Amino acid sequence: MTLRLQSSWLLEAVSEVATVDSVFFPIIHRFSALNWLSRREFSLSVNAVTASQAMILRAWLDGRNGPFSDKNLQKFNQQIKNPLDLSMNPFRAWKDRWFDRQQLDYLFYWREAAFEIEDEKQREIFWSAVYQIMSCWLSNRAGDMQTVCQPDEIMGLMLNRHGEFIRGREAKIEITNSSLDELEARNACLTVFPLVFADEESSETTLQIIFDAWQNGHDDLELPRRELRVQLRRYQISIERPNDYHIFTKLSSNSQIAAIAWSGADLPPTLYEQELVKPMQKAFEKRYTQSRLLMKAVDRSSDSYDYLLLFY
């Protein structure tokens, strides 16, 4: 999903309507998108649609967990000097498709090492560093670039970045992991819906799927892909067919303001207004009396604009 959630823009727009003291995200596409908001003076409640996503949110956004300790880094990030036996590696089917031989050795070793970490919070930081490393490896592979950093060096770098990322962060964030069907509306000033379009599997989604499979110790990607699809099926929207937006109206029913954010490309803004904004205004009209659509140009030559639709 390509979505540029511009938090300061969101708050600036919303502050004309109310003073925000609490924000609720029924779904989030990426942990780092909440960095700016999670450092503000209000309570933030976020729901993750998968257990691994909830873990990554806790590891990177909850300051109470602290950084990964040097002692654990030395103990659990050893350099592999000789190649491991590939036949023992549960991820060997990924060789040359997603990762190279050396990367697979480390993925095998890091998974085993993670289970040896006694403290759960430290373990979660370690898992989530692997998530970031996988992201780097996969994008280098997609760009046909060789990863120059050695795996143990990149692990050190990622854990260092993590330490910087959480520095000065106070924990005011509540992270849940509920299915969207079971999730209840929150008494929050603002509920934010990042839109998920039905026809996309982005590189971020593929990463999430590979990470889930890896963490669970198997190479089958269809299972986590199916699980994610089931989770999102009632939330995903399509621009071509009618949507009922029931889940949106249900989850924002206790909020003073509802905000819907998406990034558009290749389609002109008038089409989004016609096919998305108007039906949403109809769906939300019982709960909110006013709405406002804001747009920002990103690249006019490809019709790329960021959209923010507010109901209040």
Partner 1 sequence: MLITLFNAVLILLITWLAYLYFDLREKAMPARERYSQLLGGVSSIVDRLEGYDKAHSSEIAGLSLILGRASGMNDEQLQSLNAAAMLHDVGELLLPRSIMKSNKRLEGDDLELLRTHTLLGELHLKSQIDGLDEVPSLIRWHHERWDGLGYPDNLKGEEIPLAARVLALADAISAMNAQRSYRSRQFVRTDDIVAEVKRLSGMQFDPQLVKNWLAIGNPFEYKPK
Task: Give contact residues for partner 1 (rule: CB under 8 A).
Answer: 2-8, 30, 32-33, 35-36, 132, 135-137, 139-140, 142-145, 147-149, 154, 157, 161, 165, 168, 203-204, 263, 296-301, 304, 306
- Taking the least distance from each CB to partner 1, the nearer of 136 and 198 is 136
- Taking the least distance from each CB to partner 1, the nearer of 143 and 242 is 143
> Closest approach of Cβ 38 to partner 1, in Å?
10
> Closest approach of Cβ 153 to partner 1, in Å?
9
> Closest approach of Cβ 148 to partner 1, in Å?
5
- Taking the least distance from each CB to partner 1, the nearer of 83 and 163 is 163
- Taking the least distance from each CB to partner 1, the nearer of 251 and 261 is 261
> Closest approach of Cβ 305 to partner 1, in Å?
9
- Taking the least distance from each CB to partner 1, the nearer of 230 and 297 is 297
> Closest approach of Cβ 306 to partner 1, in Å?
8
> Closest approach of Cβ 164 to partner 1, in Å?
8
- Which pair of tokens denotes residue 297? 């140009």
Q: What is the DSSP string of the chain?
A: ------HHHHHHHHTTT----EEEES--S-GGGGTTGGGSSSEEEEE-SSHHHHHHHHHHH-GGG-PPPHHHHHHH-----S---GGG-TTGGGBTTTB-HHHHHHHHHHHHHHHH--SHHHHHHHHHHHHHHHHHHHHHHHTT----S-HHHHHHHHHHHHHHHHTT----EEEE---TTTPPP---SEEEEE--BTT---HHHHHHHHHHHHHTT----HHHHHHHHHHHTTT-B-SSS----HHHHHHTTT-SEEEEEEEE-SS-HHHHIIIIIHHHHHHHTTT-S-EEEEEEEEEGGGTEEEEEEEE-
- Taking the least distance from each CB to partner 1, the nearer of 144 and 199 is 144
